[in-house]
Amino acid sequence: MSIANGHYDIVRKVKFSSDCHRIVSSSDDGTIRMWDVESGKQIQIFYGHSDYVRDVEFSSDGDIVVSCSDDKTIRLWDVKSGRELMKMEGHLSLILGVNFSPDGKSIVSCSSDKTIRLWNVDSGKEIKLFIGHLNEIWAVKFSLDGQLIVSASFDKTIGLWNVKTGERLKELAHSGPVTSVCFSPDKKCVVSCSYDKTIRIWDVKSGKELKKLEGHSDIVYDVKYFPDGQTIISCSWDKTIRLWDVKLENEIQKLESHFGSVIGIDVSPDGSTLTSCSFDKTADDNTNYIWFCQNAMNTKDISNIRTAPFETLAKFLITFKTLNTFKNVENENLLNVFLQCTKRTIKLMSEEMQRKL
């Protein structure tokens, strides 16, 4: 198992390409990396940011990757060559979130400078400034028709914005800082998560809270809809990933593969695969290590379980051939492989640190 070319610090975000064949990840090591879903191999690396890379995603056609960083820049990258295409500057502080418009012509970003900015992809110029939040903004997303933007802020509120006018249409509130937010596929609802340990679903038109999902025992850090809009997935500092039935308002399944806080999740566009990222504390010493775990769920039976190494810091792939239930599978051989990878990772990291010193 090769791990020499992988991330060596916290993996912040993981996102699928529209064709479901690739994943892109951002990290505190200052790099963006692209992975093949089937093989788990790293297929591209993007260098250029000078600080933590907070968020990343593919364009709808899969040809471009956008990223944002603590270095106060947004960058566009050519997927095939890994070359930087453009650098956008304007935010006054850390840029925490970024999102392509559905038509790929615009990018929206959010920052700890308390602003949301809209950018033209062709020119790289800022075309609109959205002001209203009272604290740093952690996430921002377009609706699928590109007419609305939703934002999540440390000021405990969610903002709904008109893209054309820049007007804030609604302000929704949690009882703690809001960490992530996104629209439902039909644009009728918004789902959010928070430091208050809850997931909430809101009606876009009225601004009313429709549902509150409770079960996580710590900060809920990220949340996404499945493509059918009937299922929600969340991840938390309680080290779990949970699936929720929107209609019944109950937890369907709890996934507990990670050993530390889970800080990022994504669902493939076809709804068959989940990817997540976390930072974990190993049993071998008191240093935090990063585990990039992808759980791929296909639609047959649960008998076929396989592992495939990702060429980064102790990554592994588990395929469950089911979508009806996400079962916890105890597999002694899988556990042994995982522990062997952990020990080798720590050894190689120690050697690498000694070389740098």
Which is the CATH superfamily of the domain at 11-264?
YVTN repeat-like/Quinoprotein amine dehydrogenase (2.130.10.10)
pLDDT at 8: 77
* Residue 38 pLDDT class (50, 70, 90 cuts): confident
243 C-beta neighbours (distance < 10 Å), count: 18
| Per-residue pLDDT tens digits for 144-163 | 999 999 999 999 999 999 99
Global pTM value: 0.79
> Where are the chain's structural domains?
11-264
Sign of the alpha-carbon dihedral angle for 47, 137, 105, 128: negative
Label residue 54 by pLDDT band (50, 70, 90): very high
What is the per-residue pLDDT across 182-193, written as a single tens digit (0 to 9) for each? Answer: 999 999 999 999
Confidence of residue 87 (pLDDT cuts 50, 70, 90): very high
| Nearest Cα to Cα of residue 197 among 171, 172, 223 | 223
User: Is residue 305 within 8 Å of 318, Cβ to Cβ?
Assistant: yes
